[in-house]
């Protein structure tokens, strides 16, 4: 599940015209963000993944890439499409000169360490870790197999890399720094419902980027005079209890 989402309780009605125009701008922003994320994922896995594979190509007939994801296969279908496309652009075709091993945690982050260990025992040539919980699980599991990650928080602060300019170790990748989007979402909620006094935030407490995002949103809410009501759920089955 996503780390967080918002809802607002308005003080009074009468904002329909403003909400309509604001919603249109919000839809446009979200579509643009999705396109940017897909392009970023293709760039990362089409470029950064090439260096360990090229180095080992003469030693292994078919290098094996492990794809470790915190999502389900259905949720990540567009990411897998970008993954395959990016690698094909640099000459790596599944079944021809590379093999993929997928592991899906389906939102159950506690399964990721065992899945990462499976990939290490396989052994894979490289681990592509999608989302912070997968990247952290891979990093803890192996210090030898190269890891390429996509995360939404500070990888230096989380201990994934030594620095952004010189990652060091066996991990590299990119960060979308999406925790700051929590503040932006709050601003958009205020735009959509300017008379709102209370905003609810639903967060996944098991997500590594939940704590910094909650802190940023709480600070932003206080600065604009909003009351933030916090709810937590780590799985869809917990939504009703968090209501």
pTM over 0.85: no
With residue 24 as reference, give the H or E element that holds it. Answer: helix 16-43
Contacts for 233-242 with beta carbons within 8 Å, 24 or more apart?
233/1, 233/202, 233/204, 234/1, 234/107, 234/109, 234/204, 234/205, 234/206, 235/1, 235/107, 235/108, 236/1, 236/107, 242/202
> What single-letter DSSP state applies at residue 94?
B
Cis peptide, bond prior to residue 123, ω within 30 of zero: yes
Tens of pLDDT, residue by residue over 184-218, are: 888 888 889 988 889 888 888 887 777 777 888 88
How many whole angstroms separate alpha carbon 129 and alpha carbon 136? 9
Mean pLDDT lowest among 15-24, 63-72, 132-141, 230-239: 15-24
Selection from 210, 199, 212 nearest residue 233 by Cα? 210
For the chain, domains (ranges, CATH) are: 4-29+179-242 (no CATH), 36-178 (3.40.50.2300)
Instruction: At 210, list the tokens.
Output: 């939940």
Confidence tier at 118 by pLDDT (50, 70, 90): very high
């Amino acid at each position: 599940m996503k780390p967080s989402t918002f809802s607002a309780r308005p003080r009074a009605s009468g904002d329909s015209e403003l909400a309509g125009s604001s919603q249109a701008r919000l839809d446009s922003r979200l579509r643009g963000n999705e396109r940017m994320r897909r392009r970023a994922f293709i760039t990362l896995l089409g470029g950064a993944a090439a260096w360990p594979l090229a180095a080992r190509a003469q030693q292994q007939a078919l290098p094996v890439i492990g794809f470790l994801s915190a999502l389900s296969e259905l949720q990540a279908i567009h990411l897998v499409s970008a993954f395959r496309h990016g690698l094909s652009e640099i000459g790596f075709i599944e079944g021809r000169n590379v093999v993929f091993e997928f592991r899906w945690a389906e939102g159950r982050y506690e399964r990721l360490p065992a899945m990462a260990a499976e990939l290490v025992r396989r052994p894979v040539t490289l681990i592509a870790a999608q989302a912070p919980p997968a990247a952290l699980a891979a990093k803890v599991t192996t210090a030898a197999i190269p890891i390429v990650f996509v995360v939404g928080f500070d990888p230096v602060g989380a201990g994934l890399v030594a620095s952004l300019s010189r990652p060091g170790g066996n991990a590299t990748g990119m960060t979308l720094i999406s925790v700051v989007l929590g503040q932006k979402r709050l601003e958009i909620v205020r735009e959509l419902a300017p008379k709102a006094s209370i905003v609810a935030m639903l967060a996944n407490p098991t997500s590594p980027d939940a704590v910094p995002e909650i802190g940023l949103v709480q600070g932003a809410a206080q600065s604009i005079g909003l009351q933030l009501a916090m709810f937590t759920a780590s799985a869809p089955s917990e939504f009703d209890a968090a209501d």
